Amino acid sequence: MIKLQHAELFSQPLKARMPFRYGIATMTEVTHVFLRLTFDFGGQTQHGVAADHLPPKWFTKDPQRPLDEEVEEMLLVIRTAVAHARALVAETPFTFWRALYDAQAAWAEKQNLPPLLAQFGVTLVERALIDAFCRANHTTFPMALRENRFGLDLGSIHPSLAGTQPADWLPTQPPAQVFCRHTVGLSDALTDEEIPADERVTDGLPQSLVACIRFYGLRHFKLKINGEAERDQQRLARMAKIFAAECGGDFAYSLDGNESFHEVGVFRDYVTKLRATVGDAAFWSKLLFIVQPWHRKVALSPAIGELAAAWPDRPPVIIDESDAELTSLPTALALGYAGTSHKNCKGVFKGAANACLLAQRRRAGLPAMLSGEDLSNVAPVAMPQDLAAQACFGITSVERNGHHYFAGLGQFPVALQQLILNQHGDMFIQSAAGWPRLDVRDGSLALGSVLRAPFGYAGELDLSALTTLRV
């Protein structure tokens, strides 16, 4: 039986090396939290750790709310999830998670909190539980998932999967490396020449798009758009030329709408104009998919299905922020979406079930895409855990931008920096400034150490230098 014994919450403030503009928000600093939980697994005690940013204006995109109020609300859902977890006793990690999910959902409904925000707290408990379970059982996340040692009941999430196991749908062997899909934020400089002198970063890492392509050998990109047709057209046209010059024909990209469109039909007109004015047929053939162009208030409305039926040559569109509940993906697929995204902040077991459902659809010859997206995640815990899940779900192009907007692990305690260099030398390298930076080579990340770890990160974390928060 599984029982939560002890909980600790820590924080580390981070400042961005350059502003990251996405949707209605511009991130210049963020609170990064670590949740360390100690579980009793039938008489054996083991702790596990999860971590994540508390990102402004993503879980609830309300432009009027103060940022500190949003941070406190995110801390509230974490503390509430821990409180619910203290009351649970379960036989498997999956049944523990499902009971926690349901308890948090019932509380959130009474508090009028959106599911995406409320379940963020659950995902941190879930990730720490997975880490502790793998450590207690001397196994790895890929092995435990494949052998279904977590006890996933796929049919309880998606009925069409009843009677099947994760191994029936997921890759036998996770990919040993993934493409690092580089984010180009709405305010990111495309060339060094356009960066004002007082905004130049001098930490030894590249800043502009061109510089990043040359430094990391990038081939996959995620391009932010905001629905301002003329601005987006001009900016995408410039990027199309940059990709042709720097990458030749060897590149791919996604477009991220960040919920910019509040009227369903407007988006079709927008895409039609983009296709007519930006690049050529070769450029558009490199488009992987478009992420969440519609605001969550309309993204799963019947109007989307009507548009899809009237737009047979539409590009693949997937949900992201609208993937807030267990039923969100089936609802989206029925409306004509091509799939959804995975990021650990939306749930690991939920992501596994979604990956299996989409694999089932692919076998049936139906459109089915699962993308790897990001919330500027960084090491030592959040990013490796996210990559472990992405690889096990068969995702080979994963958005990674934490290393771009934050200077490696330079702001973390030295003990955590050294742990990453010692345990994950295939993914991190010491920068000229002395701190670990992500080692992206030929546009890809090596995942060997991540997949050999219990869940993402290896070794024992020394969190003593972090700020302790109430939990």
- Chain segment 298-308, per-residue pLDDT in tens: 999 999 999 99
Using left for φ > 0, alpha for ψ between -120 and 50, and beta otherwise, residue 163 falls in: left
Residues 412 and 280 in one domain: yes
Q: Is residue 118 part of a domain?
A: yes
Count how many domains the chain has.
2
| 317-319/252-256 β-pairing | unpaired
Q: Could you tell me where the DSSP H helices lie in 55-203? A: 67-86, 93-111, 115-136, 141-146
Q: Is residue 376 part of a domain?
A: yes
Over the stretch 209-235, which tens digit does the pLDDT of each residue have? 999 999 999 999 999 999 999 999 999
User: What is the rounded CA–CA span in Å between residue 261 and residue 435?
Assistant: 40
Domain with 102, as residue range(s), is 2-138
Strands (E), 247-380: 252-256, 287-291, 317-319, 339-342, 369-372
* CATH code of 129's domain: 3.30.390.10
Q: Is residue 154 part of a domain?
A: no
Residue 61 has pLDDT above 70, yes or no: no
Taking a C-beta distance cutoff of 8 angstroms, is the pair 115, 108 a contact? yes
* CATH code of 276's domain: 3.20.20.120
The residue out of 95, 118, 138 marking a domain boundary is: 138
The proportion of the chain whose per-residue pLDDT surpasses 70, expressed as a percent, equals 99
Residues 220 and 263 in one domain: yes
pTM over the 0.85 mark: yes
Over the stretch 108-167, which tens digit does the pLDDT of each residue have? 999 999 999 999 999 999 999 999 999 999 999 999 999 999 999 999 999 999 999 999
Residue 173 has pLDDT above 70, yes or no: yes
